[in-house]
C-alpha cells in the first residue's frame, strides 16, 4: 500500500520537486564522449612525447644525472594540457593513465610506466582537488608544479645519492627540478590555450578561471 492510498489523499500527479532536475556535484564527474575522445588524443600524444623522453632520461641518468632531472617536468605536460583545456575533475589523471599505457611497450619498465605517469599526474590534479574542482585559476597549475618540485628530489634522494654532494649542488638539484616542472607547466598552459583558440575542447566546464 502506497502512502497516498494509506492517507486517502488524491494523487494529482508528480510533485514539482520530482520533475525538476537537481543540480549536484556529481554532474561534474560525467565524461561526455567528446571529452573522452579529447582525453584519448591527449593521452596518445603525451605517450608519443614521453616514450623518447623516457629513453633519453634513462641514458642520461648514469652519465649526467642532473641533465636527466631537467626532463622530469615533461611527465606533467599531458595532464596540465588536459586540465587547462577541459577544466573537468580527474581528466589530468585520466590522460596520465592513457599516456602511461601508450608507452608501456616502449619504455623498458613495463606497467611501471603507468604508475610513474599517474604519480606525476596526481600533482597536476591535487591543487584542484583541494578546491573540489570549483576554481580553475592559472596559478593553481603552478602550485602543483612547485609542490612536486620539492617532493620529487626528496623521494629521489637515495637514487641520485644527493647526500654525497655539497649543499650547493643539492640546492642546484632542487632548482633544476623546479625550473623543469614550472617551465613545462607554462608550456602546457600555452598549448592548451592555443588548442582552445583553435576550437578544441568544446564548452568550458563550470568554475572560476582567473
* pTM, two decimal places: 0.82
Beta bridge partners of 135: 208
pLDDT mean over 50-65: 92
* Statement: residue 63 has pLDDT above 80: yes
End-to-end CA distance of the chain: 55
| Domains of the chain and any CATH numbers | 33-197 (1.10.1760)
- Other beta carbons within 10 angstroms of residue 84's beta carbon come to 26
Position 27 scores a pLDDT of: 58
* Statement: residue 210 has pLDDT above 80: no
3-state DSSP assignment of residue 63:
helix
Beta bridge partners of 173: none
* Statement: residue 158 has pLDDT above 50: yes
pLDDT mean over 37-56: 95
* Statement: residue 6 has pLDDT above 80: no
Q: Which helix (H) or strand (E) holds 91?
A: helix 91-107
Amino acid at each position: 500500500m502506497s502512502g497516498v492510498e494509506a492517507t486517502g489523499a488524491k494523487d494529482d500527479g508528480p510533485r514539482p520537486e520530482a520533475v525538476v532536475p537537481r543540480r549536484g556535484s556529481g554532474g561534474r564527474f560525467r565524461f561526455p564522449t567528446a571529452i573522452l575522445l579529447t582525453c584519448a588524443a591527449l593521452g596518445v600524444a603525451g605517450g608519443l612525447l614521453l616514450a623518447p623522453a623516457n629513453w633519453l632520461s634513462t641514458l642520461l641518468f648514469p652519465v649526467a644525472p642532473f641533465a636527466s632531472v631537467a626532463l622530469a617536468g615533461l611527465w606533467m605536460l599531458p595532464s596540465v594540457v588536459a586540465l587547462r583545456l577541459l577544466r573537468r575533475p580527474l581528466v589530468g589523471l585520466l590522460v596520465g593513465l592513457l599516456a602511461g599505457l601508450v608507452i608501456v611497450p616502449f619504455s623498458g619498465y613495463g606497467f611501471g610506466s603507468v604508475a610513474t605517469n599517474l604519480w606525476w599526474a596526481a600533482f597536476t590534479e591535487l591543487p584542484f582537488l583541494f578546491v573540489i574542482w570549483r576554481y580553475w585559476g592559472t596559478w593553481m597549475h603552478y602550485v602543483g608544479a612547485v609542490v612536486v618540485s620539492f617532493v620529487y628530489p626528496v623521494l629521489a634522494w637515495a637514487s641520485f645519492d644527493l647526500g654525497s654532494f655539497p649543499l650547493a649542488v643539492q640546492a642546484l638539484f632542487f632548482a633544476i627540478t623546479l625550473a623543469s616542472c614550472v617551465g613545462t607547466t607554462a608550456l602546457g598552459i600555452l598549448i592548451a590555450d592555443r588548442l582552445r583558440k583553435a576550437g578544441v575542447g568544446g564548452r568550458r566546464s563550470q568554475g572560476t578561471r582567473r
